[in-house]
Amino acid sequence: TLSTALAANGGLKAALRFCFAVPAGWSLLMLACGLGLGVAVMTAPLLRGVVQLLGVGYMLWLAWKLWNARTLAQADGRRLDVGFVQGMALQFVNIKAWMLALALTAGWVVSQQGGQPATNPGERLAIVLAVMAVYAFTSNFTYALVGSLLRQWLSHGSRLLVFNRAMAAVLAATAAWMLSV
């Protein structure tokens, strides 16, 4: 959603920082989970709640910014900018990213078929990091490409307002879902 909205409002170039930030941030998160931080976060209810609330708050703030962007001129400035550092940090407050990293760590990195401990967890972690970094970039870039292709069409009439509000609603719905996880 963010990749599409950033590219639709600011162009593909503006969304590229975010497209590169997601795999970088997620790779750091996966590495941290592989080294044991994920277990600490998920087993400490207070810490898990803080991650969840920060993620929900940030997504709602971004949704509010999108909801209020009515023209490309408003969006082209720093108003909708989500830079590299913000994109990376977003992964650390995204409970879905934590759950995926933990599932991969527990289900494949440290154990093998039959529940036996993996004999090569470092190698498995490196494979997961490489595969998921490519996947994260490719999927975010594809969504950004769609957004950039819609940019000219969205510049007519109230199309951008409707698009931004739809994207904001999707972000808000995702935030609400994150609260239920």
Residue percentage of the chain with pLDDT more than 70: 93
For residue 72, the model assigns a pLDDT of 66
Question: Which CA distances in Å does 135 have to 47, 139, 164, 180?
Answer: 28, 6, 25, 26
Q: What is the average pLDDT value for the chain, to the nearest integer?
A: 86
The two three-digit tokens of residue 157, written as one number:
């009439």
User: pLDDT per residue over 129-147, tens digit each?
Assistant: 999 999 999 999 999 999 9
181 pLDDT exceeds 80? no
Looking at 24-179, which runs of residues are DSSP E strands?
none
User: pLDDT per residue over 94-114, tens digit each?
Assistant: 878 888 888 888 888 888 777
22 pLDDT exceeds 90? yes
160 pLDDT exceeds 90? no
Confidence of residue 24 (pLDDT cuts 50, 70, 90): very high
Confidence of residue 76 (pLDDT cuts 50, 70, 90): very low
What phi-psi label fits residue 157: left (phi over 0), alpha (psi between -120 and 50 degrees) or beta? left
Q: What's the pTM? A: 0.78
Rg, Å, the chain Cα set: 18
27 pLDDT exceeds 90? yes
Closest CA to 125 of 95, 93, 101, 97: 101
39 pLDDT exceeds 80? no
Residue 77: enclosing H or E segment and its boundaries? Answer: none
Angle between helices 45-68 and 95-104 (to 10 degrees): 130
17 pLDDT exceeds 70? yes
